[in-house]
Structures are given as C-alpha cells and as structure tokens.
Structure 1
Amino acid sequence: MSLNNFIPAVWAGNLLANLNNAHVFAQAGMVNRDYEGEIRASGDRVKINQIGRVTIFDYTKNTDMPAPEVLTDNQRELIINQAKAFNFVIDDVDKAQTQPKVMGEATKEAAYALSDVADRYVAGLYVGAGSNLGSTVAPETLATPAEAYDLLVELGILLDENKAAGPRQVAVPPWFVGQLARDDRFIKTGSAGAESTLRNGFSGQAAGFDIVKSNNVPTAVDGTAGTSFKIQASTPQARSFAEQIVETEAYRPERRFGDALKGLHVYGGKVIRPEALVVAHVKRPA
C-alpha cells in the first residue's frame, strides 16, 4: 500500500465489508440493522423506528367506520457504547519479501478479529431474552440426538406463544449441529433454500428454524451443574445492532521502517423485543 494512495473512506468501506462477511450473530437477518442517524464516535445515539400496535374493531354493514387511527411511533434509542481498535505495522523488509497484497490481507485479518469480538458482544445480549428453557444451575440435557431436534420444537413453541412473527433462526455451537446431523429430520445445507444458504454460519434447517453455527455461543459454569451453552432462537426484530468504522489512518511509525494502519470500530446492540428471543440453557452430552 502506498500512503500517497490511501483514501480513508475506501479502506473503512473495505473493512466494514469484510466485517459483514464474517459476522454471524451480528449479521443482517440475525439482528435488525435498520436505524436512523449517523455514527461518528463512541457515545453516539441512533434511532430505531418501530410502529405501535394497530387496533382492530368490529365492522358493521352500512355503518361508518371510526376515524383512521393515528399510529404511534415507538422510536427507541440505541447507544453506541463499544469501541474497539487495531494498530499494526508491516516492516519494509518483510514487505519487500512478500506478495504486494500483504496490507490488504492484513486488513482482512483485522476485520475478522473485530467481527469476532462484536459477535461475542451481540451473543451476550441473550440475558435480555423473554423466555428460557432451563437455566445455568439446571440446564437441559440431551440423552439422544433426537432430543436436540425436540429442543428446537420446544423453542419454536415458546416463540409461538410469545406471538413472535417473522423468519426464525437459532444460533448453536458446532457440537449441536453434530447432534442434529444424526437426525433424518434435519435438512442439510444443500437442500435448503437459496436465501438461507447465503447466511454466514448457515448449516441447515430443522423444526422451522434456520440453523446457524457459531463458536461464539455463550457459556456459563455452575459449580454443580457444570458448563451450559446458551442456545438462542429468535426473529430478526428481537435485537438491534449498529456499527461503523469511524477512523482509519495509514502512517509511517517514527521508530520503524514500515507501513502501519490503525482503525477504530464502534458499535452498540440492544434487545428490542424480548418476546422474540428465547434461550435454551443446554449441557453438552458426555
């Protein structure tokens, strides 16, 4: 990379594109990413727009209807309260001995690392879920692979009872996908719809859910019950997430011969509709 050709907006855009290619929990479709407002720094606030409930009334033939209802704007604020940065240098000697695209590859690695941290943050929002199956002290146990599928059915019932509308997905650890793969009711990736297969981490479909695999599914440890995984079933409206690469700067470090790049990633997330997020606290089979 030549510092003379460095355009911050272009590099910020490339970083953000690489972030989106790596997100699992924070990707569009897993969360709502529609918001109003410009993100310039940590501490900024953006507006999440939601429409209030529509009132239903009885209709009587040959009778005037009530005046049109003015829908309420259920707008909420999302605070950008996370700020993560990177700063790396590529020595001129190393640069001369490697491929010309080394800076671009290093930038991709930075994006993947930022994405991993942001994904763990969004995954941690499960504490705002409206319903739970089991708990950290009394997790659900899976004696057979069929019980993994049955667990998804129970999560779907909870979403039904909560009247959570919209496409459904469940984020699970790799071992849970392994359990489902032993069940004939599991629809593997190649047989699923084209739109679903574009999702990062998509592994198949079961019990009405898109199955999304991630190593960032949170865990908790209880002294008696052991480790439980927080498997999360939701619709996209359950959580909102906003992010931006607000700073990128290429420079020559004063005490090094090399090109350096530093950047700042800010973001925030929030559970907006708890009824659309349900969590199963599950112990991994022995």
Structure 2
Amino acid sequence: MSVETFIPEVWNAAIKEPYEKSLIFGQPSIASSAWMGEITGIGDTVHINHLSAPTVRDYTKGTPVEVEELNTTKTTLTIDQGKYFAFRVHDVDKVQAAGDFQGPATRSAGVELRDNADKYIAGLLKDGALSANKIGTVEVIDDDPSKAGAEYSAYKVLVQLSNKLNRQSVPTMGRYVVVGPDTYSALLMDPRFSRVDASGDGEGLRNGIVGRAVGFEVLVSNNTPLVAGREVAIAGVPDAFAFASQLVETEALRDPAHFGDIVRGLNVYGAAVTRPEGIATAEVKIVAPTAPSEPVAA
C-alpha cells in the first residue's frame, strides 16, 4: 500500500465486513436501519414520524363517511456518536508482510467499531423500554429447572418477557430476545429450549442466533448490559428501535515523522427508541438451586 494507490472504497469494505457481520444489537432484525443512507456526518439528525392508528367505524349505507386527521408522533435520531481508528504502517513492515500487513489491522478496526456500537445500542435498549415492561431482578437457577425452588428457570424469564409484549399488543412477527452468556447457559439446561431442533429456514444467517423459544428468536451477546453483575435480557421487535451508522472517512497520508503511512477512519452513528412499548427487559441473576431433592416445578 502507498498513499498514491490507497483506495478508500476497498478499505471501507474490508472494515465494514467484520463490523456488519458481527453486529448483534445493531443488525436490521433488531434495530431498524431504514435511515442508514440519510446521514453524512456527526451532528446529523433524522426525524422519524409515526402516524396514530385510524379509528375503525361502523358503516351505514347512505351515511357520509367521516374522515379524521391522524396524529403524528415524532422521534429525533441524532448522530451523536463518533469513533475513529488511526494506525501507522512502517515501510519495513509493509515489505515484510508482502503487501498484506493492513489485513489484520483492518479487521481488528471493524471488530472494535462493532463492539463500541453494540454496547451503545444495548444500553439505549435497556434504558428505553417502557417502565411497565421492565421486569426487574429475577433469580434464575443455574441448573436443571426441575431442581428450582423459589428461583425462576431461564425459560420462564422468556415467557414473562413475552407476556409483557403481549400486554402492549406488540406484533408477534419478528420478535427477538438477546441474552448474555450466563443466561444462555441456563437456557441450555432446560429441555424445553435445548430439545428444539434447528428449523432449517436460514435463521443461522442472523448474527448471534442460538435458537427459538416462546415466539422469540434467541440471540446471545457478550455485549449484553450488566446491572450490578446481572445480565439484562432484552426482548422486542425491530420497529421499536432505529439505528443509523456510516463509515464517513477512510484515508491514508504519509507520516511526516516516520518512513511509513498513516491509515485512519471515522465511524459515526446514532440510535433512538421509537416505540418503548415494543421493548421488554429483565435483569437475570444466576443463582445455585435451593430446592430440596424432591423436584419442584419452575
């Protein structure tokens, strides 16, 4: 590579591939990405409008049709997050690497940008859920659910999250739940989850998907938020959240102080909860079983 032969589009693609392929909370099946193409830099704003539902009335032949004005609810998505990378490639390193030195650094940049965006989105989802949809702390057994006493099974947490969304009349199509690794381990101990075979319908193309239960596609992420050590399980639908991200600058320049080039890039993004009723959360505290030897239903 040299400054003269640097092609930003090629580097952008190399950075975006690991970024997009490993996003969990920021993938389109969790966060709506309809406004991706409308941002050009940090400070941009996108106005998202939602129309209220029209009233359905009885029809009587010969009676004039009543026309109503629909209300509009506006959410502002602000591109207020910016992360950059900048690294030096010495000329001697380029020779030793036979032209492929930039590969690992580029992939690492994409992964680091991914982690920053995913953690940011997860935090907004956790805080943005409707208050009535926040279950709070639940103790989940770290064992077979048949051994549970006062503890919940991880499967029951999913049932309760589903109930929260059902009470808000949230559509069942496209529902997801993202759990942390400890919650996922507890789920695997429950035959109601672990015995469900893969449906073979291409669900594995979703980043992080590990199964399906209670109407949710279940995903696992190390970027799941923690509250006092408790993993926050987040359930919802894509229409409840919006995310926009753009790699706006990728450039190379000759390093004036060294024999080498500097490669740097800027990723800007923003996110917003658009329908709080479409998100539900539970703080999962994994605990050892306290039940006696006789099984008690979870």
- TM-score, normalised to structure 1, is 0.88
> Which AA in structure 2 matches 1:186?
F
Using the TM superposition, give the Cα deviation of residue 54 of structure 1 relative to its aligned residue in structure 2, in angstroms: 2.2
- Check the 8 A contact 1:59/1:65 in 2, yes or no: no
Distance 1:145 1:170, change over 3 A: farther
Q: 1:36 to 1:268 in 2, by over 3 A?
A: closer
Letter in 1 for 2:118: D
Q: Return the alpha-carbon distance in structure 1 between the equivalents of residues 194 and 201 of structure 2.
A: 13
Q: Determine if the alignment matches structure 1 residue 150 to structure 2 residue 162.
A: no
- 1:247 counterpart residue number: 249
Q: Which residue of 1 aligns with 2:296?
A: none
- Is this contact kept in 2: 1:29–1:236, CA < 8 A? yes
For the structure 1 residues 250 and 155, does the alpha-carbon distance in structure 2 shift closer, same or farther, using more than 3 Å as the test? same
Task: Tell me, in whole angstroms, the C-alpha distance in 2 between the residues paired with 1:37 and 1:110.
Answer: 22
**CA displacement at 1:198 relative to structure 2:** 0.8
Identify which range, 189-198 or 44-53, moves more after superposition: 189-198
Compute the displacement of 1:113 (Å).
Answer: 0.3
Aligned to 1:88: 87
Distance 1:168 1:193 in 2: 18
Q: How does 1:163-182 map onto structure 2 within 5 Å?
A: 163-165=169-171, 166-182=173-189
Are 1:117 and 2:116 matched, yes or no? yes
Query: How does the TM-score come out when normalised to structure 2?
Result: 0.85
Residue 52 of structure 1: how far off its partner (Å): 2.6
**71-80 or 194-203, which moves further after superposition?**
71-80
Q: What displacement does 1:122 show?
A: 0.2
Q: Within 5 A, what are the aligned runs for 1:186-197?
A: 186=193, 191-197=198-204
Partner of 1:220: 227
Calculate percent identity across the aligned residue pairs.
38
Show the 5 A alignment for 1:28-67: 28-35=28-35, 38-60=38-60, 62-64=61-63, 66-67=65-66
Is this contact kept in 2: 1:18–1:112, CA < 8 A? yes
Gaps of 5+ in 2: 146-152, 289-298
Q: 2:198 & 2:37 partners in 1: Cα distance? A: 40
Q: What SS does the aligned partner of 1:4 have?
A: coil
Q: 1: CA distance between counterparts of 2:277 and 2:188?
A: 29
Q: Contact conserved, 1:12 with 1:246, CA < 8 A, in 2?
A: no
Q: Which residue is 2:75 aligned to? A: 76
SS in structure 1 opposite 2:191? coil
CA-CA distance at 1:230 after TM superposition: 1.1
2:207 matches 1:200? yes
Matched, 1:159 2:158: no
**Deviation of the 1:197 alpha carbon:** 1.4
CA RMSD of the aligned region, Å? 2.2
Gaps in structure 1 of 5+ consecutive residues: 222-226
Residue aligning to 1:258: 260
Q: Is the 8 A contact 2:36 2:245 kept in 1?
A: no
The amino acid that maps onto 2:135 is L
What count of residue pairs does the alignment treat as equivalent?
276
